[in-house]
Every structure is written in C-alpha cells, then in structure tokens.
Amino acid sequence: DIGFPTLGDVFKSKGYTTAAFGKWHNGAQPPYHPNARGFDEFYGFCSGHWGNYYSPLIEHNGTFTSGEGFLVDDLFNHSINFIKEQANTPFFLYLPVNTPHSPMQVPEVFWSRFKNKPLISRSTNPEQEDEDFTRAALAMVENIDFNVGRLLSFLKKQELDENTIVVFMSD
C-alpha cells in the first residue's frame, strides 16, 4: 500500500470486481501496476502511447499477448465481455482509451468519412497544419463515439444501464 487509493482500490474494498482496460500511465510494476492498485483484471499497456494500433503486443494481467484488430475496438470488446461475465455481481470498469493520439492509425471505415472532407475548424497557422493528421484525429474521435455507443447500447440491452458506473477517459 502506497497510501493513495485508486478508484479500483475503493471499489474492490466494497466487494466490486474491478477491471482496467486501456492506457495505464502510472507504472508498469508493483506497487504501481493496475493489478497492484485495486484492479482484478488489466488488459492494456503501461506506457504513454503505443506505436501500432493494429493487433499490438498487449498486457493481460502481467502476461503479454497479441491484441485483436484495432486497439480501441479490442479494448471495448474486452469491456463488453467483462460486463457479460460480471452482469450479476457488482463491478467497476475503468476504460481509458489511447486515441486520438499518434500514430494516426484508424480503421478505413472511419477514415473514409474524413479523408476528403473539408476542415471547418483550422489551426491558427493553417500552412503548418497537416490536414490528414487532423482528419485522422477526427476519424479516431468518430471511432471512440461509435464504441461508446456500442458499450452503452449493450448496457441498456442487458438492463444494466441504471446501475452501472463506467469511467471513460481519452487522450
């Protein structure tokens, strides 16, 4: 115990099953690793950002494995599976996604909505702006919105939306 409880510590002490899926930039080993900070399950990475968002090397409870597909989609898939498994017990899910953040990788279905779209809001120095970088960031936000909608729809379908706490953060 380092004296400063996390939300994971607090919920776990109250009998909740806890999970953190995504970016954890608070330490990669005990006593700072998420599994040492009140999270029963961790699926993500303990660095500032990841160099490849497609099927990257990812940590699951201290063991490295390969992710499945686009990282943000994978994090939400794991979140939905965790909720399915915990549907009849109190749970706390912490879901800090890593986008929008470089590298500017995003699934084609989201990129195609922005690749030729005129930018309405521009940099104060438009000649220095990489328009495709900006479009990719917008596409990443669209992907996040899609996944949040998917998660919230799942909670509603499972009749868990009224009694569930989801903490969502993004870069």
Residue 105, pLDDT score: 96
The whole-number pLDDT of residue 42 equals: 98
Looking at residue 127, what is its pLDDT?
86
**Which pTM value belongs to this model?**
0.93
**pLDDT at residue 122, as a whole number:** 83
Compute the distance between CA of residue 106 and CA of residue 140 in angstroms, rounded to an integer.
Answer: 6
Low-confidence stretches of the chain (pLDDT < 50) are none
Three state DSSP letters for the chain: CCCCCCHHHHHHHCCCEEEEEEECCCCCCCCCCHHHCCCCEEEEECCCCCCCCECCEEEECCEEEECCCEHHHHHHHHHHHHHHHHCCCCEEEEEECCCCCCCCCCCHHHHCCCCCCCCCCCCCCHHHCCHHHHHHHHHHHHHHHHHHHHHHHHHHHCCCCCCCCEEEECC
Residue written as token pair 């608070």? 26
User: Between 71-86 and 131-157, two packed helices, what is the crossing angle to 10 degrees?
Assistant: 10
* pLDDT of the residue at 168: 67
pLDDT in tens, 7-43: 999 999 999 999 999 999 989 999 999 999 999 999 9
pLDDT for the residue numbered 171:
63
